[in-house]
Structures are given as structure tokens and as C-alpha cells.
């Protein structure tokens, strides 16, 4: 069914039909035990009583985190995926609290809570957070995470949490200053806000990927990882626009940033956003194929995991009630609502030059044959 919104709700500034999504790799994959993962994740949520009433529970479950995990790790091991899904449910609740558009998450509060969370992961029994259901659930997640991940994976996961907190704090600071950032400033932290390394640590754990540090942190692999994170962030901003368009000041969303920068409406900025996204996909394809030449087994599996993350995340957003029946236009989430997206095998912008975003220019420098402007 199409996206759901109650009669008389405000019209969308960008419409409810999104243009086709360019993706030249495999898509529409889902883990065969997706239903089991959902059932077990929801049982964990109810065990800790994370939601105060039935309405909040319904909207919490509308994030469909188990579906997200099942689509971005369609061949993963079930137990890491379950813990991953539970972390995502918890993170969505925290993300809603940190949402800069609500005006409730001041920079100091985001940093205070975030640093306590990071130390809690690093040092068991720190007792830095106030007692309650969310803290109890978090303590359970942290203990099981320390037991499941390798020391290297745990360090990467903790760093991913730090990036997420730092990005959220930057957004909150912009709200406090009354600033909608320009494109380059926005892009500089958008990958952090999307939880790129928070998510990818679990994709690696679920898929049994153990890349040596000198490979994982090499410039080409990090550029490819960042490009994947930006593509996912673009898609998130497209699907989440309608659920956040009631915020004042305007949400720090790619469409709002482009509209301000180019003197356009958000609807007029939609093709510009797709062009940026598709140019990033083109870079991803070229750099991914370059890295695949002569790649060992572990790097090859990592490249495939990035593919699955991007395609699975797009399809997840397409179907999740959190986005397809947004709370600002519905009393309760609508099961079955969907953006009914279509896919494209060709980019809407065929250009191969670097994006006009200086903070991303180094991605193209990792290519063996980097494009030159005017070529």
C-alpha cells in the first residue's frame, strides 16, 4: 500500500512518490530468519519495559529494526544479528531523544549522555546513568556486546558510538545557534550522524569478517566506507523528510540544506539531492571494482557487506512504518505502508567528477585513474 497519512494532514513539501534509486548491484535480499529475529527482539524490548504505554511501544516498533538488520546482513549469523537489532531499537529511541528539531536535546545534554554511554561500554559497572528501563536495557546490551565482539571490534564499535554522539552534538549546537549549515559543513558530520561505523561493526561481526587494521584503515577502504555511509545518509534524508517537516527550525536534512544553498524549495532540491547521491554511487562502483582486483577473501566479503548495507537500507526505509506512515501525520503506524520505490540501473547524473563538496574530494583521489574536470 502507498504511504499513509490521515485526512487533513499537512501536504508534503516534496511529495510522496520518490524518483527511482540507482543501484547496479543485487537488491531485495532478506535473511530467512527475519521473523524470528523480530519476535526475539520485541520480546527483549518488552522484558525491559522500554516503552511507557501501548502508543509509544507501537511507534518504537515502527522502526522495524529487525527488518533493517535482516536486509543489510541477509546471510549473517543469527545471534550477532539479534544483538544488532536490539541495539538498533535502543538507538532509534535515543536518536529520537537527541533529535535536534524537537528543541529538547541541548548540546550539553547530548554530550553528557553520550560520554556516559561510551564510558559505560569501556568500563563495566561505572554506574554513570540514571536507573530506569532504558539504562537497564543498555547495561544488558553492553554486557552482551563485550562478551560477543572481539577486542578490536569492541573498540571500533565504541568509536562508532563516539562518532554518532559527536555528530548529534554538532547538530544540536547548530540548533542552539539558529544555524542551518551549508552543504560542506553538513556533509562533514552527516556520515557520523548516520552511525556508519556503529552499524558496520555489526555487519562485520554477523558476517564473520575480520579485516586486518592496515587494510580496514587504508585510505581507499575508508573512502569507500565513507561513500557508502553518505549514500545511506542521502537515502535516509529522502525517506525521513516527511516525518520531520513539521520541525521549527527546519530539520538538518540534505533537502533543506540544498534548498537554502541554491535558493530553491525542498521539492526543487530533490533532483539535486539525487544527483549528489548517484555521483557518490558511481564513485562507489569504480572504487569498489578497483579494490576487488586482487582482494583477499576477507576484503572481498567486506566489499559485499557494503553492497548489502546500501541496498538493504534503501529497501528497509521503503517499507518501515516509521517513514511510510510518519507519526506527524498518523495517530498510529500503518502496517503495510510503503513508498513503493523503483530501482534504476543507470544514474540520473552520469558525471564522474568529484562532488562539489570539498570534505569528500579525497575519495576520488583514491582512484587509480581519478577523473579530471572537463575531461
Contact 210, 298 (CB under 8 A): yes
Cell of 69: 538488520
Contact 96, 112 (CB under 8 A): no
> In angstroms, what is the C-alpha Rg of the chain?
20
Residue 91: the pLDDT is 85
Q: Topology of 21-364 in CATH?
A: Farnesyl Diphosphate Synthase (1.10.600)
pTM of the model: 0.94
Cell of 309: 548495507
Contact 361, 283 (CB under 8 A): no
Residue 237: Cβ within 10 Å count: 23
Tell which residue, 20, 14, 18, has the closest CA to residue 2: 18
Show Cβ contacts of residue 361 under 8 Å, excluding neighbours closer than 6 positions.
354, 355
Cell of 274: 539525487
The owner of cell 526475539 is 40
- Measured distance between the N- and C-terminal CA atoms of the chain, rounded to whole angstroms: 45
pLDDT in tens, the chain (375 residues): 899 999 999 999 999 999 999 999 999 999 999 999 999 999 999 999 999 899 999 999 999 999 999 999 999 999 999 999 999 999 887 765 544 344 455 899 889 988 998 998 888 888 888 899 989 999 999 999 999 999 999 999 999 999 999 999 999 999 999 999 999 999 999 999 999 999 999 999 999 999 999 999 999 999 999 999 999 999 999 999 999 999 888 899 999 999 999 999 999 999 999 999 999 999 999 999 999 998 999 999 999 999 999 999 999 999 999 999 999 999 999 999 999 999 999 999 999 999 999 999 999 999 998 665 444
Cα–Cα distance list, 288 to 294, 302, 306, 365 (Å) = 12, 10, 9, 14
Q: Can you list the alpha helix ranges (DSSP code H) found in 178-218?
A: 183-193, 196-206, 213-216
Residue 96: the pLDDT is 56
Residue 353: Cβ within 10 Å count: 16
Q: Which residues pair with 22 in a beta bridge?
A: 344
CB-based burial label for 53 (10 Å; 0-12, 13-18, 19+) = exposed
CB-based burial label for 87 (10 Å; 0-12, 13-18, 19+) = buried
| Distance of alpha carbon 86 from alpha carbon 84, whole angstroms | 5
Task: Provide the pairing of β-strand 21-22 with 343-344.
Answer: parallel
Per-residue burial over 164-199, b = 16 or more CB atoms within 10 Å of its CB, e = otherwise: bbbbbbbbbbbbeeeebbebebbbbbbbbbbbbbbb
Residue 83: the pLDDT is 98
Amino acid at each position: 500500500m502507498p504511504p499513509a497519512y490521515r485526512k487533513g494532514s499537512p501536504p508534503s513539501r516534496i511529495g510522496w512518490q520518490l524518483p527511482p534509486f540507482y543501484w547496479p548491484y543485487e537488491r531485495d535480499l532478506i535473511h530467512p530468519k527475519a521473523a524470528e529475529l523480530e519476535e526475539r527482539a520485541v520480546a527483549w524490548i518488552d522484558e525491559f519495559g522500554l516503552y511507557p504505554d501501548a502508543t509509544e511501544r507501537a511507534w518504537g516498533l515502527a522502526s522495524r529494526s529487525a527488518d533493517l538488520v535482516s536486509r543489510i546482513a541477509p546471510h549473517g549469523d543469527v545471534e550477532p544479528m539479534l544483538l544488532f537489532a536490539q541495539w538498533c531499537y535502543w538507538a532509534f529511541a535515543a536518536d529520537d531523544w537527541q533529535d535536534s528539531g524537537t528543541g529538547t536535546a541541548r548540546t550539553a545534554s547530548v554530550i553528557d549522555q553520550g560520554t556516559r554511554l561510551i564510558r559505560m561500554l569501556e568500563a563495566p559497572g561505572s554506574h554513570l546513568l540514571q536507573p530506569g528501563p532504558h539504562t537497564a536495557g543498555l547495561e544488558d546490551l553492553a554486557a552482551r556486546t563485550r562478551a560477543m565482539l572481539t577486542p578490536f571490534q569492541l573498540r571500533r564499535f565504541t568509536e562508532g558510538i563516539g562518532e554518532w554522539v559527536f555528530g548529534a552534538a554538532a547538530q544540536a549546537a547548530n540548533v542552539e545557534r539558529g544555524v542551518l549549515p551549508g552543504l560542506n559543513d553538513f556533509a562533514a558530520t552527516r556520515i557520523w550522524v548516520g552511525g556508519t561505523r556503529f552499524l558496520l561493526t555489526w555487519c562485520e561481526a554477523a558476517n564473520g569478517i575480520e579485516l586486518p587494521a592496515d587494510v580496514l584503515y587504508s585510505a581507499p577502504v575508508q573512502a569507500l566506507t565513507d561513500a557508502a555511509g553518505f549514500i545511506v545518509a542521502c537515502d535516509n534524508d529522502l525517506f525521513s523528510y516527511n516525518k520531520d517537516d513539521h520541525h521549527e527550525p527546519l530539520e538538518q536534512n540534505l533537502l533543506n540544506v540544498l534548498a537554502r544553498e541554491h535558493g530553491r524549495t525542498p521539492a526543487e532540491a530533490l533532483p539535486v539531492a539525487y544527483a549528489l547521491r548517484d555521483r557518490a554511487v558511481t564513485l562507489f562502483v569504480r572504487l569498489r571494482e578497483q579494490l576487488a582486483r586482487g582482494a583477499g577473501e576477507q576484503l572481498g566479503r567486506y566489499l559485499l557487506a557494503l553492497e548489502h548495507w546500501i541496498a538493504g537500507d534503501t529497501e528497509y526505509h521503503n517499507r518501515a512504518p516509521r517513514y511510510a506512515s510518519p507519526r506527524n501525520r498518523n495517530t498510529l503506524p500503518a502496517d503495510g505502508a510503503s513508498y513503493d520505490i523503483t530501482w534504476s540501473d543507470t544514474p540520473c547524473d552520469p558525471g564522474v567528477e568529484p562532488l562539489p563538496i570539498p570534505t569528500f574530494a579525497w575519495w576520488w583521489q583514491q582512484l587509480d585513474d581519478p577523473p579530471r574536470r572537463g575531461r
